[in-house]
Amino acid sequence: MSITQDVSTRKAAIRAALKRRQANPLPVMEQFYTLQGEGIWTGTPAYFVRLAGCDVGCHWCDVKASWMPRDEQYLDVAEITARALASGTRRVVITGGEPTVYDLSLLTDALHAAGLIVHMETAGPHPYSGEIDWICFSPKKFLPPQDIYYDLAHELKVVIYHEGDLAWAEEHAARVSAHTQLFLQPEWSRRERITPLLIDYVKRHPQWRLGQQTHKYLDIP
C-alpha cells in the first residue's frame, strides 16, 4: 500500500471513529496497570487505557499500531472502568493514539463515579471533552493543537527530535499558564545525541526539566 493510500485509509477510519463520538464504546488498543514512565508522575502506579485512533502522524511515533481503530477493539466505558477498578489502581491515564479524537465525557464520568483520578496525555488536536484531573499536553508539529489545551495543560511535554525543536518548544511554553510544569524530552531513537543538548539547555533555562522515558530503560510497559 502506498503512503498516500495508507493516509487516506487511516483518515477514513478516523472519520468513521469521529462519527461514533457520542457512542458509548471506545476502541481500546490495550489497557494495563504499570508505573508511569514519563513526566511529573514518573514512578507512580497508574492504569493506562490506550485508545486506538490517531490522525497526528508523527514520523517517529513508537505506537503506530494505535493509529487505526479496529471494530473488535470497541469496549463499553463500563467495561473499561471495571477493568481499571479490578487492577487496584487509583489513577487512570487515558492515552493513545490520540484520545481527543473521541468524546470522553462518558468515560471520565464513569471513572470518576468509580472514585478514580483521571489523567490524559494528548497532542490536543481535537476538542476537549469530559472532565480530566491532570492533562499532559504534548503538541506535535504534524497537526496543530487547539488553543484550549494551552489553558488546560498541567504539564507541557515537548519531544525534541533535533536542536531546532527547542525554539519551537519555547513558543509553546510562552502560551501555557505559569503553573504548567515544563518538560523537554529527547525522542527515544535520538536520545544519545539529544540528551546531552537538553541537559545543557535545562541548566541554562531552569524553568524546564529534562523528561525521560524511564519505562523504556526499565523495560516495563
Applying CB under 6 A, which residues contact ligand SF4?
A: 54, 56-58, 61, 63, 66, 96-98, 123, 140
Residues 6+ apart with CB under 8 A from 68: 9, 10, 13, 52, 53
Judge if the upstream peptide bond of residue 97 is cis by omega within 30 degrees of 0: yes
Strand partners, 35: 45
- Complex with ligand SF4: residue 68 or 80, whichever CB lies closer: 68
Residue 16: φ, ψ to 5°: -65, -40
Q: Name the grid cell of 209.
A: 526539566
Report CA-CA distances (Å) from 104 to 41, 83, 127.
22, 17, 10
The whole-angstrom separation of Cα 70 and Cα 72 is: 6
**Can you list the alpha helix ranges (DSSP code H) found in the chain?**
3-19, 77-87, 105-113, 148-152, 165-173, 191-204, 214-218
The whole-angstrom separation of Cα 195 and Cα 215 is: 16
Residue with cell 483520578: 117
- CA 6, distance to chain mean position in Å, is 23
Q: Closest by alpha carbon to 200, among 166, 170, 177, 171?
A: 166
Q: Give me the least distance between CB of 64 and ligand SF4, in Å please.
A: 7
